[in-house]
């Protein structure tokens, strides 16, 4: 980890902030992206002198390109780009609007595409690099119907990740592309969801941002294609897709929830 330059989006809180503190603590330089200037500055200060705060909206392609330029200007190169920024939603499929779907695609899919496309020429020029996209267990299995459009957007992000990995494999084997799948994490994610939601911190068994950050950090040290932040995660997914009747398997996920008023 020492001397690596790592760009992290959504770095002003939650998983992004925890990852920044974790990797900076073992010698990495970090370029931190988020919209909230004060909170981002606090995280950068906690990370020490080898941290760069870049106020940016990752749903804007120009902001992402500007952030990459700033990171290279400060550190000379980038080794790892972590697409972590994302947002949830509390709405069933039957209730979704065009604006709901557009918001989920803009924040959870297009921002990831912008990050990958921005850093890729730099990685190709260096013939090495690592893109890590932070997905969700909901990008594999529809545990929570209330997160319908979020789940769909993470499925799309997973597909883009896998397709880029296959695109690069033959000619650029030293450019790694990884997808990390957390479950529920003790952050403000639920309350900040579009249309409101339950505080993710009250869910029993939720992981801390620091636990998830350590899994991402281990993926930087040892690149893998598909990573689950809990050991049982992959088994759950394999069991679901191997079911003779998915409708029967889905009964275990419970009835649809409604957002709190």
Residues of the chain with pLDDT under 50: 260-261
Q: What three-state secondary structure class fits 172?
A: coil
CA distance 232 to 225: 17
The predicted model scores a pTM of: 0.94
CA distance 134 to 143: 18
CA distance 60 to 82: 16
Order of all β-strands in the sheet with 226-228? 51-55, 29-34, 5-9, 80-83, 129-134, 175-181, 226-228
Predicted pLDDT at 261: 41
Closest of 108, 118, 84 to residue 15, by C-alpha: 84
Instruction: Classify 68 in phi/psi space as left (phi over 0), alpha (psi -120 to 50) or beta.
Output: alpha
CA distance 248 to 135: 25
Tell me which residues are annotated as active site: 150
Predicted pLDDT at 258: 55
Predicted pLDDT at 183: 92
* Helical spans, DSSP H, in the chain: 14-24, 37-47, 61-75, 98-105, 111-126, 148-169, 209-221, 233-242, 246-250
- 5-253 adopts what CATH topology? Rossmann fold (3.40.50)
**Are 149 and 91 contacting, i.e. CB atoms less than 8 angstroms apart?**
yes
Predicted pLDDT at 238: 93
Measured CA distances, 33 to 25, 36, 39, 52 (Å): 18, 9, 11, 9
């Amino acid at each position: 980890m020492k001397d690596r330059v790592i760009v992290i989006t959504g770095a002003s809180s939650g998983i992004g902030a925890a990852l920044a503190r974790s990797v900076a603590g073992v010698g990495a330089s970090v370029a931190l992206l988020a919209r909230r200037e004060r909170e981002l500055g606090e995280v950068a200060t906690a990370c020490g002198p080898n941290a760069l705060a870049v106020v940016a909206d990752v749903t804007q392609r120009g902001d992402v390109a500007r952030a990459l330029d700033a990171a290279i200007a400060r550190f000379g190169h980038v080794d790892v780009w972590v697409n972590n920024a994302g947002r949830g939603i509390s709405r069933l499929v039957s209730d979704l609007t065009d604006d709901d779907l557009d918001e989920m695609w803009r924040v959870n899919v297009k921002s990831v595409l912008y990050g990958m496309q921005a850093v890729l020429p730099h990685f190709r020029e260096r013939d090495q690099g690592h893109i890590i996209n932070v997905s969700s267990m909901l990008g594999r299995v529809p545990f929570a119907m209330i997160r319908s459009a979020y789940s769909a957007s993470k499925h799309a992000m997973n597909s883009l990740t896998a397709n880029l990995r296959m695109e690069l494999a033959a000619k650029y084997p030293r450019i790694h592309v990884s997808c990390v799948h957390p479950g529920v994490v003790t952050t403000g994610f639920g309350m900040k969801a579009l249309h409101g939601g339950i505080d993710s911190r009250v869910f029993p068994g939720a992981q801390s941002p620091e636990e998830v950050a350590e899994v991402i950090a281990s993926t930087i040290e040892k690149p893998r294609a598909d990573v689950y932040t809990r050991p049982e995660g992959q088994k759950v997914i394999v069991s679901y897709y191997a079911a003779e009747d998915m409708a029967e398997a889905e009964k275990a996920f419970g009835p649809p929830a409604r957002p709190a008023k």
